[in-house]
Amino acid sequence: MRMWPITGILTLVLLSACTTPPEIKQALATKDHAYAENERLMQQYRELVSRITTRHQLWYRYVQTRLKLNLALQWATTNPRLIEVADPDLAQDDAALLGPDVMAVVNHIRLKSLPERKGPTGQPVFMAGTGDMSNLVQNLPELISTVERLVEQDAKKPAALDLSAFDRYRTNVQALRRINGTIKHYLDIDVTLDRGEVQSLAEALQQTGRSLR
């Protein structure tokens, strides 16, 4: 929003040295209403963005929990094959997605007969299976809770939702409304100032306008 229309109206009225025309007062009242409406709409949009972001975060947690839990159970119960022969990093990549805490549980519950799987440099990643189905079922709650903790930690890594732009907009609009109200209050008095006072008031308004840009 720009300050020059308000300052121009005030200067014109002051220099005319006469009673303020009703149209000028109505214009200021209309402008104040527009400021209030803009502030209301911006606040509604702020709340909408916040709600959508919250729902997105909940959905992200749900999807990531399912994906990581499915991946962990796949490695605990099967021996996934390479998608391509030229892709030797499958075990290492999946282990990185699961993280050390989940990997510890997976290696503890891997079923018998599942072979050791190594990374691209030959280091063991998934240990040879030693468990049975009973052991897997007993440790399933621990696996789920460990995956949920991992997803929760990952969800906190992105920066928090920044709504400061909406707050700055509201602050600026409130400042403009205060200026608009001050001008309207002065015009309601219908007095005449000398040129020195007019200049001083105009400079003060211009300085306020620059601080809002």
State pLDDT tens for residues 29-75. Answer: 787 778 788 878 888 877 887 787 778 788 888 889 999 999 999 99
Tell me how many domains the chain contains: 2
DSSP 58-103: HHHHHHHHHHHHHHHHHHHH--PPPSSTT-TTHHHHHHHHHHHHHH
One domain for residues 137 and 71: yes
One domain for residues 81 and 125: yes
Contact 188, 19 (CB under 8 A): no
One domain for residues 135 and 166: no
The verdict on residue 204 lying in a domain is yes
Q: What are phi and psi of 173, to 5 degrees?
A: -65, -40
One domain for residues 73 and 147: yes
For the whole model, what pTM was predicted? 0.55
One domain for residues 146 and 66: yes
Question: What is the Cα–Cα distance from 120 to 118, expressed in whole angstroms?
Answer: 7
For the chain, residues with pLDDT lower than 70 are 1-25, 82-88, 157-163, 183-213
Range of the domain at 85: 62-155
